[in-house]
Chain A
Amino acid sequence: MATQADLETFVTQVTCPDDFDRFWQEVRSELDGIPLEATCEADTLRSTDTATVYQARYRSLGGLEIFAWYAVPTQGTGPFPAILHLPGYKSEPALRRDWGAKGVAVLSVAVRGKLPSSGDFNPGYPGLLTTGVEDRDAYSYKGVISDCVRGVDFLLSRTEIDRDRIYCCGSSQGGGLTLITSALRPEIKAGVAGYPFLCCFPESMRMLRSYPYDELSCYQRAHPERTEQMLETLRYFDAVNFAPRIECPMVVGIAMEDEVCPPETSYAAYRLLGGERELWLFPESGHGNAHEYPARERSWLEDRIGVSNPQAATP
């Protein structure tokens, strides 16, 4: 179990590349040149009295078609506040229609590699974390992160969405992607990052033997001569390098018994956050299973969104 002292004394060796911002600006520019081609198809089987569910699709980096569940409140005409929900490493994108009753829309993204966004890119699990890791431009996560960035574009393209009230959340990989996407998209007004993955790659792969980080250790063992290049690539995708660039309020939730994402590495990202920040520590919990986390995430987002008056005019 990690202690508070462990968190405080941990220092990551990850440094930020000099051309980090330029790299990501170029990715954004590349994305801007790709037509979004957003579509929404109503899914009557999944829709409820409080949320109309759509199967949404849009184009992302490389022209790949990305799938997302899009749940829109049935009551009112909007504009609705929206949550961008980002997925865990191997888990399915969550269909969060429960927010419909609160007047909040949710876009839950199946990043590339996940069903049903895996048609043209399908490295598998394990596999995603090391695919293309020799080259920052070929690395899988350049696409995965782009898919999240484009999720914001999707929401901005919708007339029923209040473009000034877009929020973000997710756990595990979804937590790491929440941090990264919030840094790249200032349209995000606040976020909750639970048990964030993608933090402090070099230390994480040394501290634990569990997947997904162990994929990197397997890669290192198989290709020792490429380790340096792997670590160089990962600097561009490490959430600790995005954290200082986040200006919106952000929560980081950490399970002190986390056996998948070392608590020290999540805390390193928290400590570097550039805006208002809040820390939730769960002493007797492991990865993704703090009993009180879901309710706390919901309550915090409800407060930020102001669900008592979800369609209020934006100040």
Chain B
Amino acid sequence: MAGGPHWREQPAGGDTVTAAQQRSEAFWERIEAQLAETDPDIAIDRDAFYSQPEWDVFQMRYTSAGGHRLFAWLSVPHGDGPFPALIRMPDYASVHDIIYTPLRHQAVVMNATHRGQRNSDEQVRASYPGLLTDGIESSDTYTLFGAYADALRAMDVLTMQSVATVGTVALMGAGLGASLALAAAARRPHISAVAADTPLALGHPTALEPGLGYPLGELADYLRMYPETRDAVEERLSVVNPLNTASGVRCPVLMSAGRFDRSVCPLDFAEELAGALTECDFRVYDGAAEGGGHLHGQVRGAWLAARLGLEIS
């Protein structure tokens, strides 16, 4: 199920396939191989308590790379499918709960978690702050790399589950969730749209600058204590630099950023990323890590509805 090219095309006469991009491709191929050999073992149960008059809510469990058992909330509108679907990728937080959206009336909505988050923490429990540096000493132990595998697995199990027939699929996310959404869309060409708010700059050199707030500030904490690891950390994280996979995202992207963001998606990084995406509607707001806040929420809702062929009241 791997997607098309994962980095920018080489310009004529140039050699822009950098070592970082090669490492990135190797990283993704390894993840795909791990997923391919892992039985997703999907279990899905209707949750009568949280089901609504207009849609059913399900608790979904499945297995990702490394045997991590993951949890997701899934809502399915009443009626016959196929339904368009929206996957909300998890942000940097222990909880990824059932967020209300008017789209739940007409679309399947999946709130996927990654390893370490609540209900997906049998093997590893993330800490906050801590997630961005947990196991960073090695690519084999870095918890957050597993989150990228978990994002791919979420998309795959959505199409494999048995309670709803799914049509068009869009992704959304904020912060870490936005970066996961963009990376995942680059690997799965059937994704039709991505709404990415303030994508986490993890993997980009900007993320290692001193003086950033959490979550990126975790990296500065780590480098202050272990300065001798800086080059290794920078190289290790570069495989998830969103710029490496941006050109592989072939669907339309709605992206937002806050002009004063110094903790999640610094503006310079956001502008560079937006420029690297094939089709990006980039909105900048006078905010910080909250990005466009309520105003952008309105824009995003309408944009996603249009991409999914829905009407929102």
Binding site for A on B (CB under 8 A): 48-50, 93-95, 97-100, 118-119, 125, 127-129, 214, 221-222, 225, 258, 285-288, 290, 293-295, 297
For the complex, is A250 an interface residue (Cβ under 8 Å from B)? no
Which of B50, B99, B225 has a CB less than 8 Å from the CB of A45?
B225
Which of A44, A45, A211, A289 has a CB less than 8 Å from the CB of B294?
A289
Q: When the two chains form their complex, are residues A125 and B100 in contact, meaning their CB atoms are under 8 A apart?
A: no
A208→B99 CA distance, assembly (Å):
12
Which of B93, B125, B214 has a CB less than 8 Å from the CB of A90?
B93
Cβ proximity bits A39-80 to B, threshold 8 Å, 1 near / 0 not: 000001110000000000000000000000000000000000
Residue of B nearest to A256 (CB): B294
Smallest CB separation, B84 vs chain A (Å): 20
| B95 contacts across to A, CB distance below 8 A | 90-91, 125
A95/B50 contact (C-beta < 8 A), A115-B94, A291-B287 known: no
Give the contacts of A120-139 with B (CB-CB under 8 A): 124-126
| A289 contacts across to B, CB distance below 8 A | 287, 290, 293-294
For the complex, is A255 an interface residue (Cβ under 8 Å from B)? yes
For the complex, is A209 an interface residue (Cβ under 8 Å from B)? yes
Smallest CB separation, B40 vs chain A (Å): 24
Chain A, interface SS category: loop
Q: When the two chains form their complex, are residues A125 and B97 in contact, meaning their CB atoms are under 8 A apart?
A: yes
Which of B49, B98, B125 has a CB less than 8 Å from the CB of A115?
B125
A92/B94 contact (C-beta < 8 A), A115-B128, A294-B288 known: yes
A44→B225 CA distance, assembly (Å):
8
Cβ proximity bits A80-92 to B, threshold 8 Å, 1 near / 0 not: 0000000000111
A209/B100 contact (C-beta < 8 A), A116-B127, A255-B294 known: yes
| B258 contacts across to A, CB distance below 8 A | 291
Which of B118, B129, B222 has a CB less than 8 Å from the CB of A125?
B118
| B293 contacts across to A, CB distance below 8 A | 285-286, 289-291
Smallest CB separation, B122 vs chain A (Å): 14
| A125 contacts across to B, CB distance below 8 A | 95, 97, 118
| A92 contacts across to B, CB distance below 8 A | 93-94, 128
Q: When the two chains form their complex, are residues B100 and A210 in contact, meaning their CB atoms are under 8 A apart?
A: yes
A218→B51 CA distance, assembly (Å):
8
Instruction: Report 8 cross-chain contacts, Cβ distance below 8 Å, ordered by A residue.
Output: A90-B97, A115-B118, A214-B100, A219-B49, A222-B49, A285-B293, A291-B258, A291-B290
| B99 contacts across to A, CB distance below 8 A | 210-211
Q: When the two chains form their complex, are residues B129 and A126 in contact, meaning their CB atoms are under 8 A apart?
A: no
Interface size, chain A (Cβ < 8 Å): 32
For the complex, is A175 an interface residue (Cβ under 8 Å from B)? no
| A284 contacts across to B, CB distance below 8 A | 294-295
Residue of B nearest to A222 (CB): B49
Smallest CB separation, B30 vs chain A (Å): 29
Q: When the two chains form their complex, are residues A45 and B128 in contact, meaning their CB atoms are under 8 A apart?
A: no
Residue of B nearest to A290 (CB): B293
Output the residue of A44, A46, A124 with the most chain B CB within 10 A: A46
A227→B97 CA distance, assembly (Å):
24
| B297 contacts across to A, CB distance below 8 A | 286
A126/B98 contact (C-beta < 8 A), A46-B129, A115-B127 known: yes
Output the residue of A208, A222, A291 with the most chain B CB within 10 A: A291
Smallest CB separation, A93 vs chain B (Å): 9
Q: When the two chains form their complex, are residues B125 and A126 in contact, meaning their CB atoms are under 8 A apart?
A: no
Smallest CB separation, A109 vs chain B (Å): 14
Which of B100, B128, B288 has a CB less than 8 Å from the CB of A211?
B100
A288→B93 CA distance, assembly (Å):
16
| A164 contacts across to B, CB distance below 8 A | none
Residue of A nearest to B128 (CB): A92
| B221 contacts across to A, CB distance below 8 A | 45-46
